[in-house]
Structures are given as structure tokens and as C-alpha cells.
Amino acid sequence: MVLYEKPLHIEVVGTNLLVNGQHHHKSVRLLGQMKRTLMNPVEGNLNPEMYYMFRNVYLTHDIRYDITLILPIDINGECAKTYGHYHPATENGLAYPEVYQVLKGEAVFLLQKPNKNGSVDTILIHAKEKEVLLMPPGYGHVSINPGEEVLVLSNVVYDKFESIYSDFEDNRGGAYYYLKGGEVVQNSNYIVQRNERLTTQQLNERYKFSCNDILKEFHDHPKQFEFLAKPELLGK
């Protein structure tokens, strides 16, 4: 599966990624590593591979371009997903944003933002192939594969911080579980104050953000993504 011919030749072969003909290093997330975020307990074999992360496919200006492959696995009725994480805040108090694109397949993104009263505001977005989505400052996020094919995502993010996973670990995942067939079940560990269903365009427009192809635009015009390192520039 060739994702790009240029500016880099990027190809998926099985569960491997070739960049300009060379195998790129991958990290693997196993079922057993996901069990603290799942709706239902898992037993038996905990070694099935859930998804693959290929970091630093392209890096410039301390901003990196990654690719993630999520397999179409049914986990006791729940769709395969990433672990979920938040980003830390910068010195000015805004958390680092991130940008995602669906390269192959379809995706559901769960975004959640904590409120001072302990509740969360959530946004659920169904994204089609080629669509680009901003993950705004302050929102944790989970990427979900609702389909029957491998989901291939790309993202760009500032490279000089560590993601925060503890909220998702402590609360058995995100505020909602997305099941095979499209049913959405609220996680009882959360109080959801506000829940929205938006399109990628609707969310991007809130932050005056626009992008058609992450890799091409990031490669050719990296300054356009400076807001990933300086969130105060977003929308300006």
C-alpha cells in the first residue's frame, strides 16, 4: 500500500513501514498493554498486536511526522483504539496541540477536556479518508478504528514533550467506548458535562485551522506548523 510517492516514498507492507525504501522503526502496542483502558476485562492470550507506531518518519524544526496503523480487531465488542493521552501545557498555560490525518480507512476520534468541577467536555468525530483534524490545546484524545480494514493515521506534533497517559489508565480509558456497529457507551468513571458530535471541518473552523495534506504542507511549509510548538499562534 503506497501512501506517498513524494516528498517521501512511504509504503505500508503488512505491518511494516518503508520510507524511501528503508524499513522504519516501529513500536507495538499489545492487547495486554491496553487492558487498563478497555470496557470489558480481557482474559487468555494478551499478546495479540493492537497497533503500530512509526515515529519520526520526518522531523524538522523540532516537529515530527508520525504514522500509526490500527488493526480492525474486535475486543469483546469494542473497536480497536489507541491508549489515549493528554499533552502537557506550555509556559503560557496552553497545552500543545496536534494534527491528525486519515490516510487509509475511516476513524473515530474521541476528544475530551477536563473541567474544574471534575467533569469533562467531549467531542466525537467520525473522519473519512484524507480528512485532517486539529486536536486543540487541552483536549486528550483517543483514535478508534470502527471499520473492517487497517486504519492508517498520520500526525504532526512538537517533539520536545512527553505525553500524559495516567488519566486514561486511572479511569479505564476515555469518557466513551465505541463498539462494533457504532454504539457509543459512556464510561461510568466520568461525568460528561457536554458532548458534541462534529465534523472535522466544524472543529477545524473553530480554531481557524485549515490543512489538506499534512505531509506535503509540513514538508514544503514547516513554518505553518509553528503553532504546534507555540500554541498561542493557533488561529492567528
Does the pLDDT of residue 68 top 80, yes or no?
yes
Which residue has better confidence, 43 or 144? Answer: 144
> Does residue 21 form part of some domain?
no
φ, ψ of residue 114 to 5 degrees: the values are: -70, 145
Q: Is the pLDDT of residue 12 over 80?
A: yes
Confidence of residue 146 (pLDDT cuts 50, 70, 90): very high
Predicted confidence at residue 133, as pLDDT, reads 99
Residue 164: phi, psi to the nearest 5? -110, 120
Residue 15 lies in a domain: no
Q: Residue 186 falls within a domain, yes or no?
A: yes
**H-state helical runs in the chain:** 31-34, 166-170, 200-206, 214-220
Tell me which residue range forms the domain holding 71: 26-233
Residue with cell 462534529: 198
HSE, CB side, 13 Å, CA atoms: give it for residue 32: 5
Would 151 be classed as within a structural domain? Answer: yes
User: 88-124: per-residue pLDDT in tens?
Assistant: 999 989 999 999 999 999 999 999 999 999 999 999 9
C-alpha cell at 77: 465488542
Could you tell me if residue 167 is inside a domain?
yes
Q: How confident is the model at residue 44 (pLDDT cuts 50, 70, 90)?
A: confident
**Mean pLDDT, rounded, for 152-162:** 98
Instruction: With respect to residue 96, please indicate whether it lies within any of the assigned structural domains.
Output: yes
CATH number for the domain spanning 220: value is: 2.60.120.10
Residue 223: its pLDDT value, please?
Answer: 96
Mean pLDDT value of segment 59-83? 97
What's at 97, amino acid-wise? P
CA–CA distance, 167 with 227 (Å, rounded to integer)? 25
pLDDT in tens, 118-131: 999 999 999 999 99
Whether pTM exceeds 0.75? yes
Regarding beta strands 120-127 and 192-198, do their DSSP bridges make them parallel or antiparallel, or are they unpaired? parallel
Domain count, the chain: 1
Helix ranges (H only) for 12-150 are 31-34
Residue 41 lies in a domain: yes
At residue 219 the predicted structure's pLDDT band, cuts being 50, 70 and 90, is very high
- Residue 4 covered by a domain: no
CA distance 16 to 19: 10
